[in-house]
Amino acid sequence: MAVKLERITKTFYDNLELGKITGRRCKSCGAMEFPPHLACNSCGSTDMEWVEISGKATMHSIVLPAQLSSKPEYAPLKPFAYGEIHLEEGAEFNAVVRGINKKKRKVLIEKLPVKVTAAIYQRDGYKTVVFDLDEGQCD
């Protein structure tokens, strides 16, 4: 049997503690699972390998936090936005992007997609992944 019992989630967070942002690449079709999962959601293969991602990505939508869509613990992230992220390696997911306020959104919305870069961010008790707007994107 090819499928292995693995601590996928724990490994992802352990790697963040080591300063590495990792996903799993499908050895059958080459698709990237990020955040990482047991099987490939593109072709269904279980033949996957851990890889460190470059962190280079693009942001394709921008939603600003508001009363309903924010929490007090997000305050250190300000200014930030939520949006659709595409990793250079191919995965697509929703994430936080720092460095965007209402004024910058007006400029960025006309230029989508814009370049962003992944960063490791300390939350209460564990590290996670957020993104930063690349320099020059608002010029």
Tokens of 130: 């957020």
Residue whose entry in the numeric block shows the structure tokens 């079709």: 29
For position 94 contacting other proteins by CB under 8 A, the verdict is yes
For position 63 contacting other proteins by CB under 8 A, the verdict is yes
In contact, 42 and 34? CB cutoff 8 Å: no
**CA separation for the pair 102, 92 (Å, rounded):** 24
**CA separation for the pair 118, 105 (Å, rounded):** 19
The span of 18-26, 43-51, 79-87 binding other proteins (CB under 8 A) equals: 79-87
For position 2 contacting other proteins by CB under 8 A, the verdict is no
For position 70 contacting other proteins by CB under 8 A, the verdict is yes
Binding site for other proteins (CB under 8 A): 9, 12, 35, 60-70, 74, 82-85, 92-96, 109, 112, 123, 126, 128-130
